[in-house]
């Protein structure tokens, strides 16, 4: 077992840290949270640094990285501004990752070079009002009429829904629960495609929307993977899950690291202010518990990622990681706010934002309960 | 044992529930949260129902002391809107209880009738809640000057500060020596800065700054002879604040619980209501027994108070449990609502934000655990 980062990966981390330090100081992150506007400018700068190309194969103009590189990016960006990670995810995860894993040659040639340059945003249109944890319950239909598929239905909680250029749209094309799902690459400018922005507790700046599809016509060639992709949507989706769970694990780790920094700084200030060492013992011990669990979470996540890059079966490990990292980050944010007392409750304090941000991570990308169901299955239960 | 102990308190609960149903629906509470303001008319209506008389002796226009009843009102208001509950506590509870027990005759005459009428919002300004277990850090210092004092200093965030008519300020009056002063708001030398908070929107949380604020000996709570009894007062007032916050916590927990329960019964996934899944059911079961326990602890502390006994230890314990319960019920509630719970269109997120206010309202868990330890003579 060896999941130490390579020299290139360490350099990548340094590159992102430098980027974060220069481009996303605390005021910028706070401004993004306050305004709740999609951070096009910073995404552009990320692209200029070549960071949107991180997981695109070299032959399509990318850097050829994989899950670990994406995690490093998610972790480092989340420390400063988690919302950026999701905006970034509209390129790297929902764009490059999906097209590379499931697209046909034409789609790869068409989209990957532009995704590498950060010129396109993709949304992932799976969830529906009645299909959350029960994702296979989707009702959005695509029917072949003449030479085109006509899509009708709606999608819920779609990250990047109002800003994306394309939405990977999961539709029902046959009655079979799992084998009757087809995903299309739908141009969001298509007639009949409309959106409604949804305001969230946290992750301000990351766009979330409800999507309505009214007689949206798309050619068969827009099926993800080409016409052979018909009714392959579920299998295609499952292929992406390890990567998504790992990216979300990294987001949680990044937020928790920021929370730890905040709470440790605040305690140092208390000590400097003359609060006696003995009266802080219980608080210090709680901080130690937080730090220990965070370290365990980090090791689990990067170990699972290493397995994935080695093509070792790791559904159990990535699900464990998604569950454990996000729940740990939530616990850390909750404990930190408790320790900080009245100062933590003020909007001046970043930890309240950490809590607001982290609360979606135990829900999105498969809830904690869903991850536990998956792990239980892998344990033969 | 009948839950409310007597018919009067059962009527009080019914009256507040009835009022809240009509005047503080979920939509209304959501609007107050968004606007970060609770209209004064809400408090005026509660006063008109006689709910501000609940801790004021009959001689001063009240109904006589009923701490249990006051906790019931607070819990029910917090169920609808924690911010309103906080304002109610400021308007009806702190003044009524503290002046009845500790005020001089002159202060009783001056303030209690106003408290009974809901016309005197009182904000107790205690030591810094963030100082940690066993520490008492008091910002304001009162320096003797002629026939009075000059008070200067700053405080941490205090609920209802921005709407208070009267502050009860704990100040240092010598080495290890504390005194509590009655200070009118809006006068020269006192400033209140609103604190923008994660939740409890509309509860007028703010920081207080005193600059050589001039008070006379008669402004000492209990009059000139009460100079220096701040430690005793601190213990009792912190007990009262903890009890109030505990009642608020029970209300927040119940609101979060009921909201999520409705969803769990209606939301169908995998062809069944999600509440049928054991992982979800057990979340509810746990929160349900925690709520019951917290409520009983609030009831016990209030019962002790109503029977003239010390309730400081019980209030601290009740607050700790109620805080944990509100936190757990609200976080689980948001998780049960899933993506919907994370949107601003649903109340689950507000329950989480409000529950987090109990991290300091009524004392931090560190401070309270410290005091429980003191009362167990572990210091």
Residues in chain B closer than 8 A to A86 (CB atoms): none
pLDDT in the model for residue A186: 98
pLDDT in the model for residue B273: 96
CATH fold group of domain A7-120: Butyryl-Coa Dehydrogenase, subunit A; domain 1 (1.10.540)
Distance from the Cα of A346 to chain B's closest Cα (Å) equals: 4
Q: Is B327 on the interface with A (CB under 8 A)?
A: yes
Q: Interface pTM (ipTM) of the complex?
A: 0.95
Residue with tokens 């609030």: B298
Q: Is B284 on the interface with A (CB under 8 A)?
A: no
Count other C-beta atoms under 10 Å from residue A227's C-beta. Answer: 11
Q: Is B194 on the interface with A (CB under 8 A)?
A: no
pLDDT beyond 70 at A296? yes
Taking an 8 Å cut-off on Cβ atoms, the answer to whether B268 and A359 are in contact is no
Residues in chain A closer than 8 A to B349 (CB atoms): 201, 359
Under the banding of pLDDT at 50, 70 and 90, the label for residue B3 is: low
Q: Is B366 on the interface with A (CB under 8 A)?
A: yes
Most A CBs within 10 Å, among B30, B132, B194, to test the A interface: B132
- The three-state secondary structure class of B192 is strand
Count other C-beta atoms under 10 Å from residue A48's C-beta. Answer: 12
Strands A193-197 and A148-159: unpaired
Q: Is A376 on the interface with B (CB under 8 A)?
A: no
Q: Is B263 on the interface with A (CB under 8 A)?
A: no
Distance separating the N- and C-terminal Cα atoms of chain B: 37
CATH fold group of domain A123-231: Butyryl-CoA Dehydrogenase, subunit A; domain 2 (2.40.110)
pLDDT beyond 90 at A271? no
What single string gives the DSSP state of each residue in B200-234?
A: -TBS--EEEEEEEEEEEGGGBTT-GGGTT-HHHHH
CB A92 within 8 A of CB A121: no
Closest CA to B348 of B335, B338, B332, B334: B334
Cα A319 to chain centroid distance, Å, stands at: 14
Distance from the Cα of B200 to chain A's closest Cα (Å) equals: 10
Taking an 8 Å cut-off on Cβ atoms, the answer to whether B269 and A137 are in contact is yes
Query: Tell me: the pLDDT tens digits for A57-70?
Result: 999 999 999 999 99
- The three-state secondary structure class of B270 is coil
Taking an 8 Å cut-off on Cβ atoms, the answer to whether B279 and A369 are in contact is yes
Most B CBs within 10 Å, among A130, A342, A356, to test the B interface: A342
Determine the Cα–Cα distance for residues A72 and A146; give it in Å rounded to an integer.
46
Residue B368: closest C-alpha in chain A: A341
Count other C-beta atoms under 10 Å from residue B300's C-beta. Answer: 16
Please give the class, per CATH, of domain B231-375.
Answer: mainly alpha
Angle between helices A82-91 and A40-48 (to 10 degrees): 60
Closest CA to B27 of B350, B332, B265: B350
Phi, psi angle pair for B186, to nearest 5°: 80, 5
Query: Tell me: the pLDDT tens digits for B251-274?
Result: 999 999 999 999 999 999 999 999
Taking an 8 Å cut-off on Cβ atoms, the answer to whether A337 and B131 are in contact is no
Taking an 8 Å cut-off on Cβ atoms, the answer to whether A339 and B366 are in contact is yes
Cα B211 to chain centroid distance, Å, stands at: 27
CB B168 within 8 A of CB B124: yes
Q: For residue B37, what is the DSSP state?
A: B
- The three-state secondary structure class of B343 is strand
Under the banding of pLDDT at 50, 70 and 90, the label for residue B2 is: very low
Point out which residues pair with B220 in neighbouring strands. Answer: B181
Beta-carbon contacts of residue A237 (< 8 Å; ≥ 6 apart) = A126, A135, A170, A181, A183
Residues in chain A closer than 8 A to B277 (CB atoms): 369
| Average predicted confidence (pLDDT) for chain B | 95
Q: Pinpoint the residues of chain B covered by CATH 2.40.110.10.
A: 125-228
Q: Pinpoint the residues of chain B covered by CATH 1.10.540.10.
A: 7-120
Query: A235-378: CATH homologous superfamily?
Result: Butyryl-CoA Dehydrogenase, subunit A, domain 3 (1.20.140.10)
Residues in chain A closer than 8 A to B274 (CB atoms): 133
What is the average pLDDT across B226-231? 94
Q: Pinpoint the residues of chain B covered by CATH 1.20.140.10.
A: 231-375
Residue A50 has which token pair?
């070549």
Q: Pinpoint the residues of chain A covered by CATH 1.10.540.10.
A: 7-120
What is the average pLDDT across B182-197? 95
Beta-carbon contacts of residue A142 (< 8 Å; ≥ 6 apart) = A149, A150, A151, A171, A172, A173, A182, A184, A218
Cα B29 to chain centroid distance, Å, stands at: 18
Count other C-beta atoms under 10 Å from residue B224's C-beta. Answer: 13
Q: Residue B27, class by beta-carbon neighbours within 10 Å (0-12 exposed, 13-18 middle, 19+ buried)?
A: exposed
Residue B163 has which token pair?
């709407």
Residue B364: closest C-alpha in chain A: A341
Residue B118 has which token pair?
């809901």
Q: E strands of B12-165, at which residues? A: 122-125, 141-145, 148-158
pLDDT beyond 70 at A2? no
Residue A366: closest C-alpha in chain B: B338
Residues in chain B closer than 8 A to A352 (CB atoms): 198, 356
Q: Pinpoint the residues of chain A covered by CATH 1.20.140.10.
A: 235-378
Most B CBs within 10 Å, among A139, A159, A341, A363, to test the B interface: A341
Instruction: Determine whether domain B125-228 maps to CATH 1.10.150.120.
Output: no
Determine the Cα–Cα distance for residues A73 and B167; give it in Å rounded to an integer.
50
Interface of A with B in 124-143 (CB under 8 A): 127, 130, 132-134, 137
CB A242 within 8 A of CB A315: yes
- The three-state secondary structure class of B154 is strand
Query: Nearest Cβ partner of B366 from A283, A348, A363?
Result: A283
Longest dimension (CA), chain A: 78
What is the average pLDDT across A335-354? 96
The DSSP element (H or E) to which B19 belongs, if any, is helix B7-23
pLDDT beyond 60 at A1? no
Distance from the Cα of A14 to chain B's closest Cα (Å) equals: 33
Determine the Cα–Cα distance for residues A51 and A63; give it in Å rounded to an integer.
9
Count how many pairs of residues, chain A against chain B, have C-beta atoms within 8 Å: 123
Residue B63 has which token pair?
């109904």
Closest CA to A337 of B359, B367, B351, B200: B359
Distance from the Cα of B129 to chain A's closest Cα (Å) equals: 7
Q: Pinpoint the residues of chain A covered by CATH 2.40.110.10.
A: 123-231
Beta-carbon contacts of residue B1 (< 8 Å; ≥ 6 apart) = none
Q: What is the pTM of this model?
A: 0.96
Under the banding of pLDDT at 50, 70 and 90, the label for residue B1 is: very low
Determine the Cα–Cα distance for residues B376 and B243; give it in Å rounded to an integer.
19
Taking an 8 Å cut-off on Cβ atoms, the answer to whether A275 and B359 are in contact is no
CB A65 within 8 A of CB A55: yes
Query: Tell me: the pLDDT tens digits for B73-123?
Result: 999 999 999 999 999 999 999 999 999 999 999 999 999 999 999 999 999
Q: E strands of B318-368, at which residues? A: none
CATH fold group of domain B7-120: Butyryl-Coa Dehydrogenase, subunit A; domain 1 (1.10.540)
Under the banding of pLDDT at 50, 70 and 90, the label for residue A4 is: confident
Query: Nearest Cβ partner of B342 from A339, A346, A359?
Result: A359
| Average predicted confidence (pLDDT) for chain A | 96
Most B CBs within 10 Å, among A138, A201, A211, to test the B interface: A201
Residues in chain B closer than 8 A to A330 (CB atoms): 331
Determine the Cα–Cα distance for residues A356 and B331; give it in Å rounded to an integer.
11
């Amino acid at each position: 077992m060896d999941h130490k980062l390579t020299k290139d990966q360490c350099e990548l981390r340094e590159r992102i840290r430098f980027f974060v330090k220069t481009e996303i100081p605390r005021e910028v992150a706070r401004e993004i949270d306050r305004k709740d506007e999609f951070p096009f400018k910073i995404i552009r700068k990320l692209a200029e640094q070549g960071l949107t190309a991180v997981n695109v194969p070299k032959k399509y103009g990318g850097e050829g990285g994989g899950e670990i590189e994406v995690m490093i990016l998610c972790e480092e960006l989340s420390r400063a501004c988690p919302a950026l990670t999701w905006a970034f995810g509209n390129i790297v995860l929902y764009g490059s990752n999906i097209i590379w894993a499931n697209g046909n040659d034409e789609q790869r040639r068409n989209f990957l070079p532009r995704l590498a340059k950060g010129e396109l945003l993709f949304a992932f249109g799976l969830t529906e009002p009645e299909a959350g944890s029960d994702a296979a319950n989707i009702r959005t239909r695509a029917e072949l009429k003449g030479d085109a598929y006509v899509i009708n239905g709606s999608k819920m909680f779609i990250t990047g829904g109002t800003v994306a250029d394309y939405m990977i749209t999961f539709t029902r094309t046959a009655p079979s629960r799992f084998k009757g799902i087809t995903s299309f690459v739908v141009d969001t400018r298509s007639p009949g495609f409309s959106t409604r922005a949804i305001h969230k507790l946290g992750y301000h700046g990351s766009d979330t929307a409800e999507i309505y599809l009214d007689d949206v016509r798309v050619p068969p060639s827009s099926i993800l993977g080409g016409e052979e992709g018909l009714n392959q949507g579920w299998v295609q989706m499952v292929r992406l899950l390890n990567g998504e769970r790992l990216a979300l694990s990294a987001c949680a780790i990044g937020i928790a690291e920021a929370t730890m920094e905040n709470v440790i700084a605040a305690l140092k200030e208390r000590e400097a202010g003359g609060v006696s060492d003995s009266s802080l013992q219980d608080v210090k011990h709680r901080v130690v518990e937080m730090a220990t669990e965070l370290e365990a979470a980090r090791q689990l996540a990067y170990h699972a990622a290493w397995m994935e890059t080695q093509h070792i079966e790791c559904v159990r490990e990535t699900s464990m990681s998604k569950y454990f990292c996000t729940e740990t980050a939530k616990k850390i944010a909750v404990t930190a706010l408790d320790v900080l007392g009245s100062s933590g409750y003020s909007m001046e304090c970043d930890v309240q934002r950490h809590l607001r941000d982290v609360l979606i991570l135990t829900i999105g990308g498969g809830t904690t309960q869903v991850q536990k169901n998956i792990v239980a299955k892998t344990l033969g239960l | 044992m009948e839950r409310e102990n007597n018919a009067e308190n059962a009527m009080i609960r019914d009256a507040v529930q009835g009022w809240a149903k009509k005047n503080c629906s979920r939509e209304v509470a959501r609007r107050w949260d968004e606007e970060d303001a609770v209209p004064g008319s809400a408090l005026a209506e509660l006063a008109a129902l006689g709910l501000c008389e609940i801790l004021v002796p009959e001689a001063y226009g009240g109904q006589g002391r009923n701490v249990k009843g006051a906790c019931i009102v607070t819990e029910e208001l917090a169920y609808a809107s924690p911010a309103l509950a906080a304002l109610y506590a400021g308007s009806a509870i702190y003044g009524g209880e503290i002046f009845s027990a500790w005020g001089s005759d002159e202060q009783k005459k001056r303030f209690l009738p106003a408290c009974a009428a809901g016309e005197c919002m009182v904000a107790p300004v205690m030591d810094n809640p963030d100082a940690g277990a066993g520490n008492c850090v008091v910002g304001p210092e009162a320096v003797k000057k002629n026939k009075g004092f000059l008070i200067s200093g700053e405080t941490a965030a205090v609920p209802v500060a921005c709407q208070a008519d009267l502050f009860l300020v704990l100040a240092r009056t010598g080495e290890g020596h504390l005194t509590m002063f009655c200070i009118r708001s809006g006068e020269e030398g006192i400033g209140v800065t609103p604190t923008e908070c994660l939740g409890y929107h509309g509860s007028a949380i703010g920081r207080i700054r005193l600059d050589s604020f001039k008070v006379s000996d008669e402004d000492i709570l209990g009059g000139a002879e009460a100079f220096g009894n701040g430690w005793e007062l601190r213990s009792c007032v912190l007990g009262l604040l903890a009890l109030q916050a505990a009642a608020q916590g029970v209300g927040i927990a119940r609101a979060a619980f009921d909201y999520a329960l409705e969803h769990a019964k209606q939301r169908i996934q995998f062809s069944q209501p999600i509440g049928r899944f054991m992982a979800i059911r057990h979340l509810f079961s746990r929160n349900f027994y925690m709520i019951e326990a917290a409520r009983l602890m609030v009831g016990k502390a209030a019962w002790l108070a109503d029977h003239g006994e010390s309730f400081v230890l019980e209030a601290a314990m009740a607050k700790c449990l109620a805080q944990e319960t509100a936190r757990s019920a609200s976080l689980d509630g948001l998780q049960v609502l899933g993506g919907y719970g994370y949107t601003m269109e649903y109340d689950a997120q507000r329950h989480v934000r409000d529950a987090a206010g109990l991290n300091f309202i009524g004392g931090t868990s560190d401070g309270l655990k410290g005091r429980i330890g003191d009362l167990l003579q572990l210091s």
